[in-house]
């Protein structure tokens, strides 16, 4: 049985390009659209942490 380690893009932002490429290959949505969405979500999450901290 394979063992997997799950990480978030907040934990490993250097995987952003690789993740966007994987989603693009799987669902043929433009890679740039995924990158834009990921960046926006990361910014939103950072701002939310500041609000609730």
Work out the number of other CB atoms within 10 angstroms of the CB of residue 5: 4
What is the share, in percent, of the chain residues with pLDDT greater than 90? 51
DSSP at 15: G
Alpha-carbon distance 22 to 8, whole Å? 15
The answer to whether 8 touches 42, Cβ cutoff 8 Å, is no
In 3-state terms the chain splits into helix, strand, coil percentages (rounded to 5) of: 70, 0, 30
The answer to whether 9 touches 15, Cβ cutoff 8 Å, is yes
Q: What is the pLDDT of residue 9?
A: 85
Residue 13 has pLDDT above 70, yes or no: yes
């Amino acid at each position: 049985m394979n063992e997997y380690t799950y990480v978030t893009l907040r934990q490993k932002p250097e995987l952003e390009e690789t993740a966007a490429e994987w989603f693009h290959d799987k669902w043929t949505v433009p890679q740039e659209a995924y990158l834009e969405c990921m960046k926006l979500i990361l910014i939103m999450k950072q701002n939310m942490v500041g609000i609730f901290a």
